Amino acid sequence: MPKSDLETLIINSVNACLKVHIRNQPKEQLAPAIEGQLLTKKEAANLLKVSTSTIDGYARAGVLERVKIGTGNGGVRFRQSDILAIVSPQKKG
């Protein structure tokens, strides 16, 4: 199997798992979106009700984009809008 097909398969599988996991989560339990707000890995995990290692997996799979903070050993953050897009994906038409 070509690498690109494998990457697509992994991303689609992660997205499917996310949808199943959060399908029944009441939207009022989600924090309100603040444009441009960056979340720590722990905050992102709490918002999606998953573990921090799951957030790492989503980042590795390309489901979430890491935003580097600072230089050198600076931390990473995740855009709240990206997290909320997982919960309520826009339909492509």
pLDDT: which is higher, 38 or 34: 38
Residue 63 has pLDDT above 60, yes or no: yes
Judged by average pLDDT, the poorest of 1-5, 10-14, 65-69, 77-81 is 10-14
Domain assignments of the chain as residue spans, ordered by start: 3-23+37-87
The predicted structure's pLDDT at residue 34: 45
pLDDT: which is higher, 23 or 71: 71
Helical H runs in the chain? 3-22, 41-48, 52-61, 80-87
The predicted structure's pLDDT at residue 27: 52
Measured from the Cβ of residue 35, the count of other Cβ atoms closer than 10 Å reads 7
> Apex CA 64: angle with CA 55 and CA 76, to 5°?
70
The predicted structure's pLDDT at residue 23: 56
The helix (H) or strand (E) run that includes residue 38 is strand 38-39
What is the pLDDT averaged over residues 11-33?
A: 59
